[in-house]
Amino acid sequence: MTRVVPPAVVLGVSGGIAAYKAADLLRRFTESGHDVTVVPTESALAFVGAPTWAALSGKAVSTSVWDDVQQVPHVRIGQSADLVVVAPATADLLAKAAHGLADDLLTNTLLTARCPVVFAPAMHTEMWEHAATQANVATLRSRGCIVIEPAVGRLTGADSGKGRLPEPAEIYAICTRLLARGLEPDLAGRRVVVSAGGTREHLDPVRFLGNRSSGKQGYALARTAAARGAEVVLVAANTALPDPAGVKVVRVSSALELRDAVMAEALSSDAVVMCAAVADYRPVERGQTKRKKTESLNVQFVQNPDVLAELGTGRRPGQVLVGFAAETGDADGSVLEHGQAKLARKGCDLLVVNEVGDAGHPTGFEGEQNAAVVLGADGSSTEVPLGSKDALADVVWDLVAARLPAS
């Protein structure tokens, strides 16, 4: 019987208030079977003490190269790691890492690690935007480290801005993906637009016509493209998911708003993936006051523009266009027959066709999994078995990357 060795993760924690959120990240790793060694800095322990890290990881923690010297921890921990993630990474820690300083156990570990290294920065906006920090981040990225863009939101005090630690769930998703696929910045230097969610067409200030799209597949596309090095714009329609780390999110509601946002961003993009469920019709008039039920309900609709078809007619040379088609199959044709017809009608390069059904269907709207067949305008057909939405997203980016002109 072969014994499966759990992936060895080093969780570096530097001294910022967001250190408490690293406990959540640690929990995610240990509960999913990773072997985690926590290496805090001395100042991290001012925020969260050693007993917390030891209890949650099941291992003693040390900040110093002088403990357990006979085991040479300052070399061994880094050498045997499959992944190192530093969360939060302060401005000071990023500076030390960029310059190769090694004055404690964490900075020594960063110098001896030969595995993927992820930094999740957290600091005040001024510190993040300072030329020194930006230069350090650029240096680390040029060496192949992943430096996640900080999130925008509430900071330590009453102030808010860019510099917040990305959500632990987002950091965890980036790390587990790196453990599964390794470092693959094959979309570096590319700009991509992804639409996600479902549009809402308002009848009055209270009511709207919407659909069941959760946005999870579109967010998976945005997250995986960012992990592969792309500059990503996510046009999100009515989603309630945390912003994917390092992605520019443009929020929209109606089909017309989505169209304007996607068309504007598409002008300078190498690929556009239309994953959003866009309403085909909108009410001719949006009432300014709430409709009363004593009124008879007589609503007139007008057709919305078809964003994908519009993109397909006038796109910039070399731009790769991907559509999604959630089909059920009917008397006029099977799921795939409807998909083939739609691919031709919309003028896109790839169409991701998936079967949808009622709640409980394995590839339903709100689920965590998806399965699809990706049809290509070149006659290709790629079957993606039931798996995570990230796994389907990676296949889509593989197919897009293969169609992008050489940069």
Catalytic residues: 211
Q: Which residues of 232-242 are buried (b: 16+ CB within 10 A; e: fewer)?
A: bbbbbbbbebe
Least separation in angstroms between CB 342 and ligand CTP: 6
- Find, among 258, 140, 268, the residue nearest to 199 by Cα: 258
- Closer Cβ to ligand CTP, 23 or 279, answer by number: 279
Least separation in angstroms between CB 367 and ligand CTP: 18
- Closer Cβ to ligand CTP, 221 or 391, answer by number: 221
The site for ligand CTP, by CB under 6 A, has a size of: 14
- Find, among 370, 385, 309, the residue nearest to 342 by Cα: 309
HSE-CB at 233 with a 13 A cutoff on CA atoms is 22
Instruction: Compose the 205-234 pattern: x for residues touching ligand CTP by CB under 6 A, - for all others.
Output: ------------------------------
Single-letter residue type at 355 = E
Q: Collapse the DSSP code of 350 into the 3-class scheme (helix H, G, I; strand E, B; otherwise coil) and give the result.
A: strand
- Closer Cβ to ligand CTP, 323 or 364, answer by number: 323
Least separation in angstroms between CB 363 and ligand CTP: 14
Select from 127-135, 244-252, 272-280, 381-389 the region that touches ligand CTP (CB under 6 A): 272-280
Q: Where are the alpha helices (DSSP H) in 32-167?
A: 44-47, 50-57, 73-79, 91-99, 105-112, 125-129, 131-142
List the one residue from 68, 103, 280, 330 that touches ligand CTP (CB under 6 A): 280
Work out whether 306 is an interface residue with ligand CTP (CB under 6 A). yes
List the one residue from 325, 372, 374, 392 that touches ligand CTP (CB under 6 A): 325
Work out whether 237 is an interface residue with ligand CTP (CB under 6 A). no
Of residues 91-120, those binding ligand CTP (CB under 6 A): none
Work out whether 244 is an interface residue with ligand CTP (CB under 6 A). no
Least separation in angstroms between CB 220 and ligand CTP: 15
Question: Are 223 and 244 contacting, i.e. CB atoms less than 8 angstroms apart?
Answer: yes
Distance CA 224, CA 389 (A): 10
Select from 100-108, 135-143, 200-208, 321-329 the region that touches ligand CTP (CB under 6 A): 321-329
Work out whether 304 is an interface residue with ligand CTP (CB under 6 A). yes
Q: Collapse the DSSP code of 51 into the 3-class scheme (helix H, G, I; strand E, B; otherwise coil) and give the result.
A: helix
Select from 40-48, 220-228, 318-326, 371-379 the region that touches ligand CTP (CB under 6 A): 318-326
- Find, among 109, 99, 82, 112, the residue nearest to 14 by Cα: 109
Of residues 335-364, those binding ligand CTP (CB under 6 A): 346
Select from 77-85, 153-161, 271-279, 396-404 the region that touches ligand CTP (CB under 6 A): 271-279
Strand 151-154 to 160-164 pairing: antiparallel
List the one residue from 274, 335, 384, 391 that touches ligand CTP (CB under 6 A): 274
Phi and psi, residue 159, nearest 5°? -80, 160
Distance CA 226, CA 247 (A): 7
Select from 101-109, 135-143, 145-153, 302-310 the region that touches ligand CTP (CB under 6 A): 302-310
Cα dihedral: 235, 185, 227, 75 (round 10): -160
Strand ranges, E, within 241-380: 248-252, 271-274, 281-283, 301-303, 320-327, 350-355, 369-376
Distance CA 248, CA 274 (A): 16
List the one residue from 98, 236, 261, 278 that touches ligand CTP (CB under 6 A): 278
Work out whether 186 is an interface residue with ligand CTP (CB under 6 A). no
Q: Which residues contact 88 (CB under 8 A, 6 or more apart)?
A: 13, 14, 16, 18, 19, 21, 22, 120, 121, 122, 123, 165
Work out whether 252 is an interface residue with ligand CTP (CB under 6 A). no
| Contacting residues toward ligand CTP, per CB under 6 A | 255, 274, 276, 278, 280, 304, 306-308, 323-326, 346
